[in-house]
Structure 1
Amino acid sequence: MRFMLVDDERLALLQLEKLLREVVDTAEVEAFQDPEEALAHAAKARPDVVFLDIHMPGLSGLQAAELLQVSCPDAAIVFVTAYDEYAIQAFEVNAVDYVLKPIQKQRVHKTVERLLKLKPERVDNGPADQTPKTIYCLKTLRFQSRGKSPEVPKWRTAKAQEMFAYLLHHKGQIVHKSTLLDLFFPRMDLKRAMAQLYTAIYQIRQCLHAAGMVVSIQNSSIQEGYILEIGEALLDKEQWEQRGARLGMEVVANPNERFEWLMSYEGDYLEDHGYVWAEHESERLRRLWLSHARELGLYYLKADRGHASTVQLYERIQQIDPYSEEEALILLRLYDEKGQFDKVAAYYEELNEKMESELGLSIPVQIGLWYRQWLEERAGKIASRG
């Protein structure tokens, strides 16, 4: 196991190196007092474990850990500190462990045991693990890797999740640190905000690694920002748009395939998260979906009104755009034509309640008139049978 030790105190370095060699006979240990020198060397040495003192002049341990994730994303981080408050903060950034000074041999032994338990998870699985991954951002942010079903990542904080989503939203572009500070830490003093930013980026990288996602967040030191690259990973919203583009503009040529494509739209962009900055893209995709859905809906109404897909499509249109009077009336009529009278009544009541509770409006006059007429006709038919 290759260890790198970084601490501006020479005696502390010597003590930790001695203890590590006593605990791990075959340990390869390199020690640095200058964190910037250590970072430059780490890119070549690729250590398995980095022990970082948190409280160092110039570059702090938290900042160094954030930069290490670029050059050594697989390295386990162990924070070392003489202060309890720093130890707690280190634990919160998802480090493998933290150790309080003065360091004891028994404590180092416990840390090494923890590292050995984690080691199997860090083994390279080879080419089979390099298959394209998928990031889902329609409806809910999820990851899919190694042929598994899409899963919601285990984020340490909601802030880390949103920051990842924001970087993903601007993938391939430099997102300046000042932009992230203004958006995520607007009322925090600069020093503390920078520490929180480094913490969030560290958490994001740890979450990506744990999920098996080959996604990089490069630190652009020249322009003081980050660039997120998804590599060979796929993005569901891009895949969905590209599939629609391949279908072309002629509905009559492929109505069934177009229907399947529309129904594969799981929900609006980051719908479950409600990020304000995502609303423009969410609205763009929603309008694109509705445009194609309405075109296909009109085709179904003319070509095969009784097809089961017609009802399904208009139910989905109403789900995405619930206040469209024209399509609400179409759906009521379709339910009636298919003899689904319970659905006519249930949908009318649902629409009426939604209009009153969410908009403070009465149900549209045309729909109200149609429904009252429908009730009268139903009552007449039932009476005639009796």
Structure 2
Amino acid sequence: MIRVIIMDDEPLALINMEKKLKEFNSIEVIKSFTTAKDLLAEGPSLDFQVAFLDVEMPGMNGLEIARLLKEWNKNVYIVFVTAYRDYAVQAFEIHSLDYLLKPISKARLETTINRIQELLHLEKNSTPTLIRNKPALTIQCFGGFVVLHDDKAVHWRTVKTKELFSFLFSNLNSLVPRDSIIDALWSETEYKKARVQLHTTVSYLRTTLSALGYLEVIQHANGCYILQLEDFQCDAHDLEHILNRKMETGKLDIETAEALIQNYQGEYMATLDYPWITSKANFMNNQFTLLLHDLVEHYTAINDVKKREHILLLTIEHNPYSDKTIQQLIKHYIDVDNRANAVKIYNNFKRTLIADLGILPEHETTELFNAISVEL
């Protein structure tokens, strides 16, 4: 049974709401209130999971009551019931589960109750994150943006829900001003409409993440949003961790780096056509290039010519216009006495530069090639 309290300053509206809820066998209305005074007196001693609150009430309105209930129990679900649309934005900022407009149909109320049942079921049956051997949430950023939960693709309610998650995830654990999000995702939309769309999308995203067992991970304060996630695996975060550890210790975690390289699918969020991605993508692609260069140095130091060649070829694939990498690859082929491949790689590189950029290889690259050609 879902334990529910109701609050409405109009007695007839309260009776009507209680009657509607009691039509559902899964609902137990444990208490109804018409005044904030009564709620403050009895509320803290009640065991309830959901609060249906009218918004327009004298004294403390529904929004203020909701904030109070969240202080008592951050996991309580809030459903606002009102005849007015004007409070939708504020309602979503308080992490409300739903916003019902009077008069409420049974079908619309059933949708809300089904969502509550689903969330409570997941809470009851979820495995505590501390005892998981493998994170349930996997996020692949290189080559696209794929989010899996228990190896199944996450379903996003709207396209914007996915984009908002990718934007907040790109700024993980950082406060992002509301207007910065609007500029990034709704730049072509009139501001007032964009703000409503943002709060609607935030609500959808919270519901999606809550259904996966990630509760209260999106916070709103002082006009900013912040996404705080734990217990997940992400290739982009693995990359940053590897490079940060190398800076701290001076040593490269070869095993983790090789695993990351093996699963590499392409450039950062390459399949997404979001204007805001460019700066972050450039940074992450440069970070990946740094890791490749570190691996080349490592394999050169231990004289593993096979792995060095593999990483150099991957580096060229990642950045086909790099004279430095071509020079390294030519020298590699000289070292392994394969000058034919050195000539081939140079000619391919030259054709690519001319076709794509209208330029020739650097002088040092050409001189290296000429030296090989004389020997041949």
Partner SS, residue 87 of structure 2: coil
Equivalent residues of 1:3, 1:48 under 8 A apart: no
In the alignment, the residues of structure 2 paired with residue 129 and residue 199 of structure 1 have an alpha-carbon distance, to the nearest angstrom, of 32
Deviation at 1:14, TM superposition (A): 2.9
Deviation at 1:258, TM superposition (A): 8.2
Tell me the amino acid that sits aligned with residue 197 of structure 1.
L
In the alignment, the residues of structure 1 paired with residue 229 and residue 309 of structure 2 have an alpha-carbon distance, to the nearest angstrom, of 38
In the alignment, the residues of structure 2 paired with residue 47 and residue 295 of structure 1 have an alpha-carbon distance, to the nearest angstrom, of 46
Aligned residue for 2:46? none
Deviation at 1:313, TM superposition (A): 0.8
Tell me the amino acid that sits aligned with residue 125 of structure 1.
S
Partner SS, residue 198 of structure 2: helix
Tell me the amino acid that sits aligned with residue 186 of structure 2.
F
Partner SS, residue 94 of structure 2: helix
1:317 corresponds, among 303, 315, 318, to 315
Tell me the amino acid that sits aligned with residue 95 of structure 2.
L
Distance 1:190 1:369, change over 3 A: closer
Tell me the amino acid that sits aligned with residue 103 of structure 1.
S
Partner SS, residue 219 of structure 1: strand
2:356 corresponds, among 347, 355, 358, to 358
Partner SS, residue 283 of structure 1: helix
Deviation at 1:202, TM superposition (A): 1.0
In the alignment, the residues of structure 2 paired with residue 6 and residue 356 of structure 1 have an alpha-carbon distance, to the nearest angstrom, of 72
Is the counterpart of residue 156 in structure 1 residue 157 in structure 2? yes
Aligned residue for 1:90? none
Aligned residue for 2:100? 80
Tell me the amino acid that sits aligned with residue 28 of structure 2.
A
In the alignment, the residues of structure 1 paired with residue 310 and residue 287 of structure 2 have an alpha-carbon distance, to the nearest angstrom, of 18
Aligned CA RMSD, in angstroms, stands at 4.7
Aligned residue for 2:94? 67
Tell me the amino acid that sits aligned with residue 179 of structure 1.
S
Partner SS, residue 196 of structure 1: helix
Partner SS, residue 23 of structure 1: coil
Aligned residue for 2:206? 205
Deviation at 1:340, TM superposition (A): 11
Deviation at 1:17, TM superposition (A): 1.5
Equivalent residues of 1:185, 1:193 under 8 A apart: yes
Tell me the amino acid that sits aligned with residue 217 of structure 2.
S
Distance 1:313 1:168, change over 3 A: same
Distance 1:109 1:164, change over 3 A: closer
Tell me the amino acid that sits aligned with residue 40 of structure 1.
R
User: Which stretch of the first structure deviates more once superposed, 125-134 or 284-293?
Assistant: 125-134
Equivalent residues of 2:63, 2:90 under 8 A apart: no
Consecutive unaligned residues of structure 2, counting only runs of 5 or more, are: 33-51, 56-61
In the alignment, the residues of structure 1 paired with residue 239 and residue 368 of structure 2 have an alpha-carbon distance, to the nearest angstrom, of 40
Aligned residue for 1:103? 105
Equivalent residues of 1:39, 1:68 under 8 A apart: no
In the alignment, the residues of structure 1 paired with residue 75 and residue 19 of structure 2 have an alpha-carbon distance, to the nearest angstrom, of 18
In the alignment, the residues of structure 1 paired with residue 281 and residue 262 of structure 2 have an alpha-carbon distance, to the nearest angstrom, of 16
Aligned residue for 1:15? 16
Distance 1:108 1:327, change over 3 A: closer
Deviation at 1:8, TM superposition (A): 8.2
Aligned residue for 1:52? 80
Distance 1:130 1:156, change over 3 A: farther
Deviation at 1:67, TM superposition (A): 1.5
In the alignment, the residues of structure 2 paired with residue 249 and residue 25 of structure 1 have an alpha-carbon distance, to the nearest angstrom, of 55
Equivalent residues of 2:53, 2:81 under 8 A apart: no
Aligned residue for 2:63? 36
In the alignment, the residues of structure 2 paired with residue 33 and residue 14 of structure 1 have an alpha-carbon distance, to the nearest angstrom, of 13
User: Which stretch of the first structure deviates more once superposed, 20-29 or 190-199?
Assistant: 20-29
Equivalent residues of 1:160, 1:203 under 8 A apart: yes
In the alignment, the residues of structure 1 paired with residue 252 and residue 104 of structure 2 have an alpha-carbon distance, to the nearest angstrom, of 72
Tell me the amino acid that sits aligned with residue 286 of structure 2.
R
User: Which stretch of the first structure deviates more once superposed, 287-296 or 201-210?
Assistant: 287-296
Equivalent residues of 1:5, 1:50 under 8 A apart: no
Deviation at 1:312, TM superposition (A): 0.8
Is the counterpart of residue 136 in structure 1 residue 139 in structure 2? yes
Equivalent residues of 1:325, 1:367 under 8 A apart: no
